[in-house]
Structure 1
Amino acid sequence: MMGNEVIKEIVYNVSKVIIGKEFEIYNIIKGIIANGHILIEDVPGVGKTTLVKALAKSLNLSYKRIQFTPDLLPSDILGISIYNQKSMEFEFKKGPIFSNIILADEINRTSPKTQSSLLEVMEERQITEGNDTYRLEEPFIVMATQNPIDYEGTFVLPEAQLDRFMIKVKIGYPEKKFEKEMLNIYSKDEPLDKIKSVASGEDILKIQNSVRKIYVSEEINSYIVNIAEATRNNKNITLGVSPRASLALLRIAQAWAFISGRSYVIPEDVKENIISVLSHRIILSSYGRVNNLTSEEVLKDIMKLIPVPRVKDEKYDKSK
């Protein structure tokens, strides 16, 4: 199957389990094919964990769920070296992080120290233990779920941790008609048990490679840089986005262009993803908080100020 057909099959498959949330599923797929990690934020009970399980089954990838709790240690995630008395050497026992898809469930319920243990893994796709380095098998995707920080027993994720999530997705409550449909389906069956694989890790790696080849013009690059720069010089923002965030916005725009069947990025591919890629990376200033602004509102105001490049599609399409 072609890349677009594979993606449609994945979305259709997962939609059997998570009813009425195709838009949110596509947002997660963007992050996967852009070779990034995904942060899923919402209140308990809206299907965050079920969605990730359905994706793992659809992609036929190895999958581990790590329940983040206040007493979780970094070694519980990464692994630990144990002394072998027979060989008189230390042996590294791999932790659950050695899988293709990691569900970091309720990541903001554990301590910042344990949260930070994921930094090297998410950025370098490797673990360093003493003098040894262990590479993780590709594709490697961390999908972390978190409850809103005003929930009891939650910690704010460190800025460096948040910056490594390419995109943030909110599931939200289902519409009334979809919630009713969900009740009808789940009263008779367990759809997750019937999910079959519709793609493979090799398919995802091929699509990721194709996404990297999507053409991006200088005008689009300038547009992304101008948006990033605006977040660093805004009275409502204390901490603007990093160059890593600019690159994430570029990658997600390429992914959306690929899903849309284009070989080039257009301005709308950037505009439609600014909120989901940048909102979790900025920190509001005291001025912004006093005025009861949200990160999303501040970004929308910035988008109004940055001129959108006007270029005919033919200029982007290098295949012609």
Structure 2
Amino acid sequence: MNQIRINEIETAINRDYGNIAGMIVQKNGTKVYEKYFNGYTADNAVHVYSVTKSVLSALIGIAIDQGYIGSLDQKVLAFFPDYQVKDGEKTIQKITLKHLMTMTAPYKYETEPYELFFTSQNPIQDALDLLGGNGIIGEFNYSAIGGTHILAGILARATGQSILDFAEKYLFAPMGITVPHNLLLRSEEEHMRVMNDKTTRGWVVDPQGINTGSWGLFLTPEDMAKIGQLHLDGGRWLGKQLVSAAWIAESTKEHRRWDKLLYGYLWWIIDDQAHSFAALGDGGNVIYVNNKNNMVIAIASLLVPDARDCIELIKTTIEPAFENGMM
């Protein structure tokens, strides 16, 4: 029966999720399944895309715990006193960190200008220039890049150090997560080469030296599972409170709803009743946490066109196989 369930999972992966590089399932804090695909091994990190946002969420929580940031109710522009607000603009002056954390800040565009951010010499300045406008504060408005990178700039300014250094001290080193250095991508060609190189490790920085808050972090499935377990355990790791339990609870509950989509603080809420939530990145990268089932599932995936939603795989195939205990 055990092998049948494993075969069902791996058949589904090979049939519909051929871009998966690695997967780890943990139940009751114990690893019950680990498998690698596409020539990847446990030592290979993968670019996890927007999963980076949820890691940044934990770092913002730590910065609040440590007193570097007062609260999420602080105004964004309080951290950029040198920013010149254009005449007549009032909306941007009302936007708080909480609006950025919950994707409820308005912007001056209908479609986010990805190319602008990827080619900009100062993407935080450009993101601030696009913040506000005539939109309504409080309505869900997902910003894939700009809004979260403003949060990265705030974290760097508030702590007076690089985000990677801050993360290394308070999160990565205590958990045994290796993110060895910053990555500066100088061209589109270099960007594509690095993203497709399984030996790449690190965290991308913008031309100002600020680690990208929305994407750019390379993690192994083991690293991802550790972050999931940290959140399942209320911010504790090996008996030490790395992130306050209050922040973990607050960041992984519903703060905004858009149709059937629920959002916390840079985490997607999958089921508010079961308290299951996920960090989601392009290509099918997932850190999935289910408090009711005491389960963590980490899936590292390669970016391909029209990648399937791995939450469907988790809910229909993986989770049912393990929810009653180890196979």
Q: TM-score, normalised by structure 2?
A: 0.26
TM-score normalised by length of structure 1? 0.26
Larger relative contact order (C-alpha < 8 A, sep ≥ 6)? Answer: 2
Greater Rg by CA = 1
* Structure that is richer in helix per residue: 1
